[in-house]
Amino acid sequence: MTSLAQHADRLLSLHRQDHPVVLPTVWDPWSATAIVDAGFAAITVGSHPLADALGRSDGEDLDLAEALEVVKRITDAVDVPVSADLESGYDTPAEELVDRLLEAGAVGVNIEDTVHSEGRLRGAQEHADYIAAVRQRADETGVHVVVNGRTDVFKTTQPIEDRLGEAIHRLTLMEQAGADSLYPVALPDEATLVQILQAVNTPLNVTAHPVDGAVPAGLSLAELTGLGVRRVTFGPLLQAALTDHIATSLARWRA
């Protein structure tokens, strides 16, 4: 088996290519194995599809132990780098979060700024400080955990006058805190994506639908490459596409 440090270095190197690293989002050992067998070099575990697979809700309805139990099953099933979406950190100190992530065999982590237990968005510096603490602890372990810093500025219902400006502010702070990639979810349009790409130097993550292209504008992989995007994940959309496929495949068998 490849060591955690080797997996982490491999995952980091995939973010430094001249084209995006595509990390299909999985939720159990079956989906992980299927994706790896399809030829993908790394995967990410999504909190939303994982929760759906367990009959629970996204937004830290699970606790950290439950989430990491599934992550461990996935890392045991495949020998590729695995990143895990740990939402806002499940109210767990950054040092403990990193240690438990590594114990589960994952070498990447997605951390968002929506604190679900409190129903609020972290302050920009508060979130950057948490990212910095994750970075520091990972460095102390000797494993370069690939940190994907996420902001929900475009998604939150909280009033924000200048969402683009606030997103860039938060992404810049996370960049300075040591994030290896940046993830502004729910981008409203391609123009916003372009402006963010021009404002940051760290690889940018976008969400894509496996059928319809990248959010927000249905962009193809080639178009994302041309714009300078360097990471693609799918959130719950891969699982949703498979759900649609099941309905279509079984339609003629319904009585």
CATH number corresponding to 4-253: 3.20.20.60
pLDDT of residue 217: 87
d(CA 127, CA 125): 5
pLDDT of residue 1: 53
d(CA 179, CA 150): 10
Q: At what angle do helices 163-177 and 190-199 cross, to 10 degrees?
A: 40
Model confidence band, residue 255 (pLDDT cutoffs 50, 70, 90): confident
> DSSP alpha helices (H): ranges in the chain?
4-14, 29-37, 47-53, 64-77, 94-103, 124-141, 163-177, 190-199, 221-227, 237-250
**pLDDT tens-digit map of 185-232:** 999 999 999 999 999 999 999 999 999 998 888 999 999 999 999 999
**pLDDT tens-digit map of 112-170:** 999 999 999 999 999 999 999 999 999 999 999 999 999 999 999 999 999 999 999 99
DSSP secondary structure code for residue 204 in this structure: B
Q: Note the pTM of the prediction, 2 decimals.
A: 0.96
**pLDDT tens-digit map of 24-76:** 999 999 999 999 999 999 999 999 999 999 999 999 999 999 999 999 999 99
Q: Which residues contact 106 (CB under 8 A, 6 or more apart)?
A: 45, 71, 75, 82, 83, 84
Exposure of 117 by Cβ count < 10 A (0-12 exposed, 13-18 middle, 19+ buried)? exposed
pLDDT of residue 21: 98
Q: At what angle do helices 29-37 and 64-77 cross, to 10 degrees?
A: 40
Is residue 90 classed as helix, strand or coil in its secondary structure? coil
